[in-house]
Amino acid sequence: MLRYAVVIVPSNDGFSAYVPDLPGCMVTGDTRKEVVKNIRVAICFHLEGVKQGEIEEPRSLCQYVEVPVPENLVGSGPNPKASESQAIRLLVHEVVDELWWVPTDRQRSSAGTKRPLATRVALTTSTGDSIEMDFVLIPKGRYVMGSPPGESGRHKAEGQHDVQLSRSLYMKDTPVTQREWRALARSTPFRFKDAGENVPAERISWYDALEFCNILSDLEQLKPVYKLGEIERRDDGSIRHAKVMVNFKNDGYRLPTEAEWEYACRAETRTPIYTGELTIHGEHNGPELDQIAWYSGNSEVEYDGGFNSTGWSDKQYNHRKAGIQTVRQKEPNPWGLYDMIGNVWEWCWDRYGSYVNGKVSDPMGAVTGKRRVFRGGCWSSKVSECRAANRCKIGASNRACILGFRPVRLAKGLRLTRHSDEDSESGMVTWLA
């Protein structure tokens, strides 16, 4: 048994020192064999990152960590001392000796195909503003949508059913921020204007979100998914109502469907939140959320314009003002998506309706209805609302300081198939990738 959570593996003409996420590997493995397999896959991801230049390759053995290296593997020599935080990570877990392993090219390739990849979109607007947005690959797949009977906070509208998603997507790694909104939409509808430019854009209607997606598509010279007609605007330029035509065949940006959103949020987990179980000690006290989400129990703010939270009883942390928070401060889910739970609710494409019983492929919501789905919970949400399966609905023209969104687009190179239904708002054929 090696008592150091470190892996030294050959990489190109040198070696790479890698500290795997052992807790994560152990959570997803029930047996010793599965844990070892998970860690090996993680090593392949690391090597691929080195190969692609995303991770700096050490130029000597154990450049970043101090660890006893078996002489029959890499020889001997002095090792620099590790920092205190690294040393703690190295000593916490025991790792089986199968970790001293050199993956084959086939194993690296196989693991690499399962790796969620990120792509960065760098844009310059017509006014000269520059923005960069990161999108994470969400691979197509199958999952169980909804929540099981007995899940804390569950609603009857969350019945479990099998969903097949046949299209891989790129999804923005955070909600659209105020800075990104200002650069593209050229308006400031926000309540929390003093919260900083890297908080989620809020007070965004469903129609406004569609228009933003079209603007983003045009800037990237992609085919817009939506066509908005008969637009009725408010005095501040936001959209109160519009006739929407949609063509999912196009490669531009759009809102995720409700099924796509939950699938991305879960990231191959089946628990109420992607880190595990959720205990509800009170409406505003769910300790497990503190690691991943801004919600009513921990969303204290000091900036001007915060919401008076003195009336929220039994909060996880006592605070007097609450509000929206800067993105990427909490831990992401296993696919690299931040703030999927909490901070700001996120619009989905779908009309709200009952789930279809049994297996379903690429569901797109109810055919009729005026209310649209939003997901994920927000800075003012109760604990029960901050679950992957929780569903909410509101009219498409509504704006509130709890509502934002994150766009998606089709991953390129996928074959498209015709869908038999037609969108009732448009009469236009919907295509699925």
279 with 171, same domain: the answer is yes
Residue 217, φ and ψ in degrees, nearest 5: -60, -45
407 with 333, same domain: the answer is yes
| 2, part of any domain | no
91 with 133, same domain: the answer is no
pLDDT in tens, 195-251: 999 999 999 999 999 999 999 999 989 999 999 999 999 988 899 999 999 999 899
302 with 252, same domain: the answer is yes
| 173, part of any domain | yes
| 177, part of any domain | yes
pLDDT at 415 over 70: no
Q: How many domains in the chain?
A: 2
Strands (E), 140-203: 141-145, 161-165, 169-172
pLDDT in tens, 360-408: 999 999 999 989 999 999 999 999 999 999 999 999 999 999 999 999 9
211 with 161, same domain: the answer is yes
295 with 177, same domain: the answer is yes
228 with 346, same domain: the answer is yes
| 1, part of any domain | no
153 with 246, same domain: the answer is yes
User: Which residue has 């906070």 as its token pair?
Assistant: 153
CA 38-49-82 angle, to 5 degrees, is 80
C-beta neighbour count of 138 within 10 angstroms = 24
Q: What is the pLDDT of residue 33?
A: 61
Looking at the chain, the whole-number percentage of residues with pLDDT higher than 70 is 67
Q: What is the DSSP string of 296-336?
A: TTT-B--STT-EE-TT--S-SS--SEE----TT-SPP-TTS
CA distance 9 to 15: 6
What pTM was computed for the model? 0.71
| 129, part of any domain | yes
C-beta of residue 263 within 8 angstroms of C-beta of residue 141: yes
103 with 79, same domain: the answer is yes
Q: Is 190 exposed, middle or buried (0-12, 13-18, 19+ CB in 10 A)?
A: buried
166 with 75, same domain: the answer is no
CA distance 221 to 355: 36
55 with 145, same domain: the answer is no
pLDDT in tens, 47-65: 566 666 665 544 333 323 3
CA distance 103 to 16: 13
C-beta of residue 248 within 8 angstroms of C-beta of residue 260: no
pLDDT at 424 over 50: no
CA distance 383 to 289: 8
The domain boundary, picked from 79, 113, 147, lies at 113
Question: pLDDT-derived band of residue 28, with 50, 70 and 90 as boundaries?
Answer: very low
The domain boundary, picked from 90, 113, 136, lies at 113
**Nearest 10 degrees: Cα torsion 161, 162, 165, 171:** 50
| 383, part of any domain | yes
The domain boundary, picked from 113, 135, 151, lies at 113
Q: The domain containing residue 56 runs over which residues?
A: 7-113
